[in-house]
Amino acid sequence: MGELKRKHEITSAGWRAAVAQLGGQPPDRKEEDRGVAAIRDYLTPKEAARALAIHVQTLRAYVRSGKLPALRLAGERAIRIRRADLDKVLEPLVPQG
């Protein structure tokens, strides 16, 4: 790709603009940006925060306080949140009853 850019004197911004006009996605896009994360059962904190439209630090506070269950990968610091558990932090706006 770099060779083609140099050969045809196309900048990164120009290349991305051309791809956007064609309606495609550049090949270096992350899987999560293509919607692949939407079909996985376990999400990273960043993906889960994006799904709830909250900041990742807010999501981590929910995990620390026990509002949101999370799982730790064996032997690592990384955590994952089940997609099905995301509803546990949502409450009705008006109390029912």
Residues 59/64/69/75 CA torsion (nearest 10 deg):
100
pLDDT tens for 70-93 read: 999 888 889 999 998 998 888 888
Residue 14 near residue 6 (C-beta atoms within 8 A) = no
**Rg for the chain (alpha carbons), in Å?**
20
State yes or no: pLDDT of 60 exceeds 60.
yes
Its domain, for residue 16, covers 1-29
Strands of the sheet containing 42-43, edge to edge, are 42-43, 79-82, 71-72
Do 41 and 82 belong to one domain? yes
In this prediction, residue 94 has a pLDDT band, given cuts at 50, 70 and 90, of confident
**pTM given for the model:** 0.56
Is there a domain that residue 4 lies in?
yes
Do 45 and 23 belong to one domain? no
Do 44 and 22 belong to one domain? no
Do 64 and 84 belong to one domain? yes
The type of residue at 13 is A
Domain count, the chain: 2
In this prediction, residue 63 has a pLDDT band, given cuts at 50, 70 and 90, of very high
Neighbours of 39 (CB within 10 A): 7
Do 54 and 74 belong to one domain? yes
